[in-house]
Structure 1
Amino acid sequence: MAQSILFVCLGNICRSPSAEGVVRQMAAARGLELTLDSAGTGPWHVGEPPYAPMQTAAKARGYDLSAQRARRVTPADFSRFDRIVAMDSGNLADLRRMQPKGSRAALELFTDFAPDLGIAGVPDPYYTRDFDGTLDVVETCAAGLLDQL
């Protein structure tokens, strides 16, 4: 059975769809079978595609995010996924508050898979405007996550 991972950020239009797309491609290159998805803790962008500048930056590196659509984390996600990986400590705190008792999902911080980066969260390019810098962090964290699997 494939391991299942949900990537979570605030609005599900930049960081978590990028993490999903990067891990999907890196896992395929390594021959790993994973079930992957992404979601946001907030409702602002439900149904929307990833943010256009994020898609452009990702596409320049060979990642196609265009089929993804933003959605919000649901209580069922905590039973459906083995791991729920937050993009920053605020997202992780929100997930801990949302997590139903007895759910099986392990809650983790994405940057914990790349401790050498020395940061406690993936920078949000919606605010920083540094889409390439965010992808650098996402790629490093994705490689670290896959090395652990």
Structure 2
Amino acid sequence: MTTSLPPARTPGQYAVALVCLGNICRSPMADVVLQQRLGAAGLDDRVSVASCGTGDWHVGNPMDRRAAATLTTAGYDATRHRAQQLDASWFDRFDLLLEMDRSNLSDVRASTTEPDRAMLFRSFDPVDPGSEVPDPYYGGDNGFQEVLAMVERTTGALVAALTQHLTQGTERT
């Protein structure tokens, strides 16, 4: 499966935003994993990543303790995250906005003049493309483990797509 990326706003660079509802579970988990994978791929100087929520309930707070514990156990650094809210500036700063579920996708697309820059995060999932990342907030620890497995798998494919986009001349300006 090949999902094409929207064109970069700045040649040779790419900016990815990860979006969920409150920015304390799914999108920060994806943010942490994606940043680590980009570093391992040698793309951290060419691809910037941030996460946000469509709601403002948790702005300034660290990620959910269960999300942080799941990441830490898996060897990721979950300490730097502070929740942010999506605002109009994100639409100009990011080449791609990846939403965790269809509700977030609908909200983001309705708020931008470039709806093609928004797509589901799992559009890149090699196992179940186009599915949603379920919100683990109201469930148990197993939900966070499941989200991490989806995020890791999808992030691997996303890094491959970004690598191809940036190194094989497929970016358009």
Q: Is this a same-fold pair by TM over 0.5?
A: yes
The answer to whether the 8 Å contact 2:98/2:118 transfers is yes
Identity of aligned residues (%): 38
Quote the residue 2:111 is aligned against: 98
Gap runs ≥5 in structure 1:
none
Quote the residue 1:121 is aligned against: 132
Quote the residue 2:145 is aligned against: 132
Could you state the TM-score of these two structures normalised by the residue count of structure 1? 0.93
Quote the residue 2:123 is aligned against: 112
Q: Quick one: which amino acid aligns to residue 59 of structure 1?
A: T
How many residue pairs end up in the alignment? 147
Quote the residue 1:36 is aligned against: 49
Gap runs ≥5 in structure 2:
1-11, 163-173
CA RMSD of aligned residues (A): 1.6
Q: Deviations over 1:71-100 (max 9, x none)?
A: 11010100000111101111100101121x
Between the aligned partners of 2:70 and 2:126, the Cα distance in structure 1 is 24
Between the aligned partners of 2:116 and 2:19, the Cα distance in structure 1 is 13
SS in 1 for 2:149: helix
Quote the residue 1:67 is aligned against: 80
SS in 2 for 1:58: helix
SS in 2 for 1:8: strand
The answer to whether the 8 Å contact 2:126/2:157 transfers is no
2:100 equivalent among 76, 87, 92 = 87
